[in-house]
Structure 1
Amino acid sequence: MFWIVDNGSSHHGQASVDRMAAAWANATVVHTPLHASWLNQIEIYFSVVQRKVVTPNGFYDLADVENRLDAFHDHYNLAAHPFDWRYTKQDRDALLKRLDAHQPSPVTTEPPTN
C-alpha cells in the first residue's frame, strides 16, 4: 500500500517513513515534492471546502456541519471532471523567456530625501 503525503510537519522526512514501516510492513510512504501543493488533490479539495462550505462558520451544531459537508460532497461529485493538464515544453519556454525579459527595479539603500 502506498501512502502519499505532503511534507507537513506531522509526516515530514525519514522519521515518518520509519514510523509507518514499523506500524505496517506493507505500507510505503511517498512524499510529494516540496512546494507542489498543486499536485495534492485532497489539499485542493479541502481548500475548496474551507472557502465554500465552512466559511463563514455559522452552524447550529455538529449535525449542521455534517449535513452541509455531505451536501457539498454530493454536489462536488456531480460537477467533478478529470483535470486535463496541457502545459507543454513550449509553454514553459515562453514563460522562461517572459521571466528572463523582466528587469527588476534597482534597490536603493539610501534613505529618501525630503
Structure 2
Amino acid sequence: MRAQVVLHAARGRSNAHIARETGLHLDTVRVRRGRFAEQGLAGLADRRRCGRPARFTPVQVAEAKALACRLPAETGVPLSRWSCPELATELNARGITNAVSASTVRRWLHQDPLEPWQHCSWMFITDPHFRPKAERVLDLYAHTFDGIELGEDEYVVSADEKTSIQARCRCHPTLAPGQARAMRVNHTYGRGGALAYLAA
C-alpha cells in the first residue's frame, strides 16, 4: 500500500484522491508521501520499534517443535507422550533453551498444527467371540437380560480393576506426532501374566 501511495503521487494525484483510491486515511497518505520525499525507498520500510527483544531464537523454537515430534521413549525419557511442562523441562535440561516455561512451549506449538499432547487411539478386535460377548453387555446397558427386560428391583453392577498396572507389552509401536497429525496409539497388547482382583 505504501508503494501504491508513492506511485499515485508520481502521477501527480492529490492526497485526497490517493486516499480515496487506496482506502487509506488522508493522514496516512500524507505521512507516507512525506517519508518517501525525505528518505526515498528507505521511507517505505518499517521504522525500528522499541520493546523487549525476543528471548528465544527461531532456531530454538524449531528445535523445540522437532523434539515435540519425537516420542519420549526415543530420547530416553520414561514417558508415553509429551506434555508441555515435560517438554519445557527437557528443553531446559538439554540446554536448547534457558528457563523456558510450559506456557511458552504451548504457544509455540499452537502456532503450528503440532499438538503432541493429543493422541488418537484405537483397538482392532481379534476375538472371534466378540459379538456375542458385546451383545450381552450392551443388552445389560439397555436393562435387558436374555431377551427379558429387567424388573424395577433388578440392577446391573459393572466392576473393573482399580489400577491399570499390568505386565504387558504393546504389539505395535506408537507413531510419533507430525504436522497436522496427532500421535497414534494402537491399544493392542500382549499380556504377560497380570492377576487382577475384582470386587463389587
TM over 0.5: no
Q: Give the helix-richer structure, 1 or 2.
A: 1
TM-score (norm. length: structure 1): 0.28
Which of 1 and 2 has greater Rg?
2
TM-score (norm. length: structure 2): 0.18
